[in-house]
A and B are shown apart, each in its own frame.
Chain A
Amino acid sequence: MKPRVACRTGRWAAQVLAVLALLGLAPQAKAQFGDFLKKATEKTQKVQKALQPMTVEEEREVGREVAAKMVAFFHLYKNEPLTRYVNMVGATVAAQSERQDITYHFAVLDSDDINAFSAPGGYIFITRGAVALCEDESELAGVLAHEVGHVAGKHVLKIVERDKALRAGMDEAKAYTPGSAYLHKMSKGILVKLIDQGLAPGDEYDADQRGVRYAHAAGYPADGLARFLTKLDQATAQGGKSFWTRTHPPVKDRNARIQQTITAQHWEDADRPKLADRFTLQTKMVKPKAGA
């Protein structure tokens, strides 16, 4: 009998001690597991947010910062009749865009360079030099429609959304405050991409296709952009300054694709208005004077 009792007592004691041991470890284990879970949750949330598309409000804030830097660098060309005219033509082509969840804003930059830019959120700029190079309203419409095409196609936005380094810091409390470190980094990254590196050729061709479509749907001849590009090529060959020819695909290729679309869609409407007279009247302030 005695050994059996001793055995039972021993087993009971062993079980009690095992439970005690587990209870002793429990607080530390709980603390460690709790930390692990907290960290994992935080990281998962950050990853999920970094991979999510930007909201329209976020896009607008980023675009506003890019626009502010462009204005700071070039300064706006302050001429109310020209601003109004460019906004009229811009609004006419932008109304044909598939993307209507944002408002498109147009302005003229005070620069002799032949450039046009678009920032996320619908901020579209054309330089005084680019307006001066156009010969009629349909060409101006073609250029503005190309920029609307970039915004509608979210070409810059998609690059930003994919760039995890650019998006780092997006969840900080004041990330979207004008002038914040996050917006500075983001807008600088966009400007380097736009002006120094250029978008992917596919994005440029896509913006061309969209631009041709919007201009045609607005009632302009579909080849306004192609005519402008031909002039741009000639102007830069003669020393004109433009980042379009440096960072964009060759004009020959772009115009060949535009022409292909026009032919395929039967958009060769000779009777559509180019509006050269109205354009000349409205843009006389940027045209170089004869003999100058």
Chain B
Amino acid sequence: MRRILEVCLLLALSAGLTAGGAPPTSPQDQSQQDQSQQGQGKSDKDQQKKKKKGGFFSGLKAITGESSEQQEVTATAGSKTVGEGEQMGEAKPTAADRQAVTAMENYSIPEKDVKKFQDDGKLKPKQ
């Protein structure tokens, strides 16, 4: 019986301690905590373990393309293919260039003119 009581008391004490310390933390408190944790000193081994495991979301990071590793891969792939496409990709369109694209979008030929063009050429389109 005593043992049960002791265990429960221990649980209650630990719960009280953790609950009291954790939830209402201001950013300042958080940074203080971090500093104190750093002060306690995390071993390199622990950090390596964390890196290796990568956390629960590490797999998802690869899919969403957020990881820094992936950015590295992309940058490397880009540097391998220096060509005209890359130069074009680096082109910075001016307002006039964008206006030219808008003009291209707005350029339309009346349907009757296209029909006449087809008739003149004796084309017989299906649609």
Choice from B1, B78, B100, B122 contacting A273 with Cβ under 8 Å: B122
Most chain B CB within a 10 A radius of its CB, from A69, A166, A187, A278 = A69
| In-complex Cβ contact of B125 among A73, A95, A243 (8 A) | A95
* Chain B positions within 8 Å of A14 at CB level: 4-5, 8
Q: Is B23 an interface residue when CB atoms closer than 8 A count as contact? A: yes
CB pair B126 A192 closer than 8 Å: no
Whether A28 and B23, one on each chain, are in contact in the complex, defined by CB atoms closer than 8 angstroms, is: yes
CA distance A174 to B126 in the complex (A): 42
A-B contact count (CB 8 A): 188
Tally of B interface residues using CB under 8 Å: 59
With known contacts A50-B64, A68-B98, A191–B104 Cβ distance under 8 A: no
> B interface, by DSSP: helix, strand, loop or mixed?
helix
| B-chain residues with CB within 8 Å of residue A71 when the two chains form the complex | 93, 97, 100-101
Is A192 a contact partner of B125 (Cβ separation < 8 A)?
no
Partner among B5, B87, B120 whose Cβ is within 8 Å of the Cβ of A13: B5
Chain A residues within 8 Å of B, Cβ to Cβ? 6-7, 10-11, 13-14, 17-18, 20-28, 31, 39-40, 43-44, 46-47, 50-51, 64-65, 67-73, 76, 83-84, 87-88, 91-92, 95-96, 103, 105-107, 123, 137, 164-168, 178-179, 187-197, 217-220, 243, 273, 275, 278
Selected A-B contacts with CB under 8 Å, 25 pairs: A14-B8, A22-B15, A46-B66, A47-B63, A50-B64, A71-B100, A72-B94, A73-B88, A83-B107, A87-B107, A88-B109, A88-B113, A88-B117, A91-B109, A92-B117, A103-B105, A105-B104, A105-B105, A107-B107, A164-B64, A167-B65, A188-B90, A219-B125, A273-B122, A273-B123
Q: Which of A46, A50, A76 contacts B100 (CB 8 A)?
A: A76
**Cross-chain contact A72 with B114 (CB below 8 angstroms):** no
* A72-B93, A273-B122, A278-B121 given; A67·B104 CB < 8 A: yes
The binding surface of chain A is classed by DSSP as helix
Per the 8 Å Cβ criterion, residues 84-117 of B in contact with A are: 84-94, 97-98, 100-101, 104-105, 107, 109, 113-114, 117
Interface residues in chain B, defined as those with a beta carbon under 8 Å from any beta carbon in chain A: 1, 4-5, 8-9, 11-12, 14-16, 18-19, 22-23, 57, 60, 62-66, 70-71, 73-74, 78, 81, 83-94, 97-98, 100-101, 104-105, 107, 109, 113-114, 117-118, 120-127
Candidates B60, B94, B126; contact of A43 at CB < 8 Å: B60
Which residue on chain A has the smallest CB distance to residue B55?
A39
CB of A74 to closest CB in B, whole Å: 8
Give A180 Cβ to nearest chain B Cβ, in Å.
Answer: 12
CA distance A91 to B115 in the complex (A): 10
Report A-chain residues with C-beta under 8 Å of the C-beta of B92.
72
